[in-house]
Chain A
Amino acid sequence: MSGPIVEAEGVVKTFGPIRALDGVDISFEAGIIYGLLGPNGAGKTTLIRVLTTLIRPDAGTARVAGIDVLADPTAARTKMGLAGQFAAVDDYLTGRENVEMVGRLYGLSRGDARRRAAEVLERIGLVDAADRPVRTYSGGMRRRLDLAASMVGRPQVLFLDEPTTGIDPRSRIDIWNLIQDLVADGTTILLTTQYLDEADQLAARVAVIDCGRVITEGTPSELKDKLGGAVVELTVTDDCRDQTLAALATVTGEQPAYEPSTKKITVPAPDGARTLMAVVRSLDSSEIVPDDITLRKPTLDDVFLALTGHHAEDQTQTSATKPRRPRRIR
């Protein structure tokens, strides 16, 4: 298919006084993982709900697989799969029954639903547990089953709303592998995440979303390039800090930055490892031994901090320590 597989333009959605989406534009081609990155309440889930026909926006347009989701939601639904934030699986049915049921509701015949469910369960690694009731499943297994259910209709586009939130690291890797397999087979995936490493690892393109707006968009490396190149980051004991700062300024020709809260000194490293080596030589000749020294590429967290003035994961992790904008409901 030519043209973008998912396209949203000027999407606005308000809930009472809250502008959950404030004119969102996104667009991307088929066959990739597209990441929507943002803190809780940024509007990620609301955007997914608009794209999957669950809510109608107040303004704007959205197309999935070439179908206008507002004009023809039923047709659009045949092209998409959704795995929401909560595993929407039935505790009292077995894994297989859950997947077969969704297959039937996609319009598959009884036989096709059965065959397709077996295929999907195999793929997702739940064959052994398939005939057990879901209430015996672990959290990670439930998420995988939910993913299986969203795949059963062979959707062209899969929408995954925070597929790894709240599950253990091991299951997280499983789900990452599965998502990468699906894309290798030609499915397009839009996933939301609050985890920068997840977007960094999986997504070919990322839209950073905050307060209902896309604040930047691009490949993870483009986003990092916006912040310039690598930095050398080091910590030294307090008594030789001034000496270190002076030495670094001489080596790089730039004033290093010192962050008192973390005691980290950073200095731009335009030549990468060369800069690092020059820094090390200079410290060595001054007989300074740093506690820690690294050459670091900017992370998406740096991107986020630079663009929004706050850390991406702040809102969920340190809820009591910093003043913040009111949380938004989805």
Chain B
Amino acid sequence: MTALPARSRVGLAQAVRDTAVITKRNLLRNVRLPQLLLFSTVQPVMFLLLFNYVFGGAIGRAIPPAAGGKYINWLIPGLVVQVATFGAGQTALGLTEDLSKGVIDRFRSLPMARSAVLAGRTMSDLIRNGLIISLMLGVGFLIGFRYQTDFVRLVAGVAVALAFTYAMSWVMAAIGLAVKNPEAAQSAVFLPVFPLVFASSVFVPTQTMPDWLRAFADNQPITVTTNALRGLILGEGALLPGQTVEGQILAALAWAAGILAVFAPLAVRVYRRTVS
């Protein structure tokens, strides 16, 4: 084996390969330190238990009959979207940690595809969030969650949530790269996300919110995505009058595509600027 030839361009095949290498590297961390995944799952499960047992009785009366009379059936699609949203925050934390440890410098000094660092990070977080969502669904089943349609639609619902979490990962990538510091990223990521998650249909139906808030809540991406999941998992009866399952799915996917179209290029630009 001799010295490497000088290449001025990185081809698509290598970009894909480099992305796979980075994805694997990021995922191995979760395998070697299973606590990471465990603690990431504990939080949504805690939300699940608290909301179900503490608020479930009270809120249960306000939810549509499509939920089969059980708050947990209403709650689970919302929590899946909550996990998708919070889980995306991991992208910011992972990138800032790599930045602060000099790992990004190492990557940037290698003749690898520039895009692979961000593509690999968002890909590994997608897989990780898919796993956490599956674990949470498992716990949900144990304590009484039952889909009211069929398994295929449940899987389709999870797929919609994954499209959303992938798009959100790029938002978080841009935020993380802009803040750079892991501690700062923690608050920069979760502060804006909290009100978005609560001012939505994740935990409660939006009908009882004041008009001004409801106008916002009904149209923001977290609600739309949650509605798409509820439509798929519980049936059209879980939606507001006038909404269709297909309509909510299309709207959710459009949001994901729109977010991706804006934030992926933005994250790439911030990445270029951050490290040079």
Which residues in A have some Cβ–Cβ distance to B below 8 Å?
A: 49, 52-56, 67, 72, 74-82, 84-88, 90, 92-93, 97, 101-102, 104-108, 112, 115-116, 133, 149, 153-154, 156
Q: Which of B79-87, B99-107, B188-196, B246-254 touches A?
A: B99-107
Assuming A92-B29, A93-B25, is B109 touching A85 (CB within 8 A)?
no
Q: What is the count of residue pairs linking A and B with beta-carbon distances less than 8 angstroms?
A: 101
Min Cβ gap B5→A in Å is 7
Does A106 lie within 8 Å of B32, measured CB to CB? no
Q: Does B142 contact A (CB under 8 A)?
A: no
Q: Does B58 contact A (CB under 8 A)?
A: no
Chain B residues positioned under 8 Å from A52 (CB to CB): 109
List, sorted by A's number, 23 A–B pairs whose CB atoms are closer than 8 Å: A52-B109, A54-B275, A55-B275, A55-B276, A67-B6, A74-B7, A74-B9, A75-B111, A88-B102, A88-B105, A90-B25, A92-B33, A93-B25, A93-B32, A101-B21, A101-B25, A104-B17, A105-B116, A106-B4, A106-B110, A107-B14, A107-B112, A149-B106
Which residues in B have some Cβ–Cβ distance to A below 8 Å?
A: 1-10, 14, 17-18, 21, 25, 28-29, 32-33, 101-103, 105-112, 116, 275-276
Complex partner residue of A82 from B5, B10, B14, B106, CB under 8 angstroms: B106
Assuming A104-B17, A112-B1, is B111 touching A84 (CB within 8 A)?
no
What is the CA–CA distance of A102 and B21 in the complex, to the nearest angstrom?
Answer: 9
Chain B interface mostly: loop
Chain A residues positioned under 8 Å from B32 (CB to CB): 92-93, 133
Q: Lowest 10 A-B CB distances belong to which pairs?
A: A88-B102, A77-B111, A82-B109, A88-B106, A92-B32, A75-B6, A105-B112, A86-B102, A78-B111, A92-B29
Chain A residues positioned under 8 Å from B21 (CB to CB): 101, 104-105
What is the CA–CA distance of A101 and B17 in the complex, to the nearest angstrom?
Answer: 11
What is the CA–CA distance of A86 and B108 in the complex, to the nearest angstrom?
Answer: 15
Chain A residues positioned under 8 Å from B7 (CB to CB): 74-75, 78, 107
What is the CA–CA distance of A160 and B25 in the complex, to the nearest angstrom?
Answer: 24
Assuming A54-B276, A92-B29, A112-B1, is B105 touching A74 (CB within 8 A)?
no
What is the CA–CA distance of A153 and B112 in the complex, to the nearest angstrom?
Answer: 12
Min Cβ gap A172→B in Å is 20
What is the CA–CA distance of A112 and B112 in the complex, to the nearest angstrom?
Answer: 16
Query: Besides A77-B109, A107-B7, A154-B2, 9 other CB < 8 A contacts?
Result: A75-B8, A82-B109, A84-B106, A88-B106, A97-B28, A101-B25, A107-B14, A153-B4, A154-B4
What is the CA–CA distance of A156 and B275 in the complex, to the nearest angstrom?
Answer: 24
Complex partner residue of A86 from B18, B25, B101, B110, CB under 8 angstroms: B101
Chain B residues positioned under 8 Å from A104 (CB to CB): 17-18, 21
What is the CA–CA distance of A56 and B32 in the complex, to the nearest angstrom?
Answer: 37
What is the CA–CA distance of A86 and B103 in the complex, to the nearest angstrom?
Answer: 9
Min Cβ gap A4→B in Å is 17
Does A54 lie within 8 Å of B29, measured CB to CB? no
What is the CA–CA distance of A86 and B3 in the complex, to the nearest angstrom?
Answer: 26
Min Cβ gap A242→B in Å is 57
What is the CA–CA distance of A107 and B14 in the complex, to the nearest angstrom?
Answer: 8
CB-nearest residue of chain A relative to B30? A92
CB-nearest residue of chain B relative to A53? B109
Complex partner residue of A105 from B2, B33, B105, B107, CB under 8 angstroms: B107
CB-nearest residue of chain B relative to A152? B110
CB-nearest residue of chain A relative to B10? A74
Chain B residues positioned under 8 Å from A102 (CB to CB): 106, 110
Chain B residues positioned under 8 Å from A106 (CB to CB): 4, 110-112
Does A54 lie within 8 Å of B105, measured CB to CB? yes
Chain B residues positioned under 8 Å from A153 (CB to CB): 4, 110-111
What is the CA–CA distance of A93 and B101 in the complex, to the nearest angstrom?
Answer: 15
What is the CA–CA distance of A154 and B1 in the complex, to the nearest angstrom?
Answer: 10
What is the CA–CA distance of A311 and B3 in the complex, to the nearest angstrom?
Answer: 41
Chain A residues positioned under 8 Å from B1 (CB to CB): 112, 115-116, 154
What is the CA–CA distance of A76 and B8 in the complex, to the nearest angstrom?
Answer: 8
What is the CA–CA distance of A253 and B188 in the complex, to the nearest angstrom?
Answer: 72
Assuming A77-B110, A84-B106, A88-B106, is B276 touching A56 (CB within 8 A)?
yes
